[in-house]
Amino acid sequence: MANFRFAKLQGVVFEDCELNEADFQMAELREVTFTNCTIERGIFTQCTISNVDARSSELRGIHGWRYLRGLIIDHSQLITIAPELANDLGLKIQ
């Protein structure tokens, strides 16, 4: 439940972290790396990002997917997060 709301993070590396319910609302993340982290129920609403890499981390229950435009992930993560992305964007899958 760490609070990074309104933070300006540049060149930060989160490594081997459990970021459950971390709040990044309205934060600015530039050149940030999440290495082997678990980000569960994180809040990214209205944040801005640039060159944020989460390829080696687990992403679950994220709030504010639409604000993570440009987030670097790998193809296996996309399969896992696709339902959350669709839901956040209001897509109806039939």
Is residue 94's pLDDT more than 90?
no
Q: Total domain count for the chain?
A: 1
Please report whether residue 30 resides in a domain: yes
Residues 4-51: tens digit of each pLDDT:
999 999 999 999 999 999 999 999 999 999 999 999 999 999 999 999
Domain range spanning residue 76?
Answer: 8-88
Q: Give which of 22, 32, 27, 73 is closest to 48, Cα–Cα.
A: 27
Is residue 73's pLDDT more than 90?
yes
Please report whether residue 3 resides in a domain: no
Please report whether residue 56 resides in a domain: yes
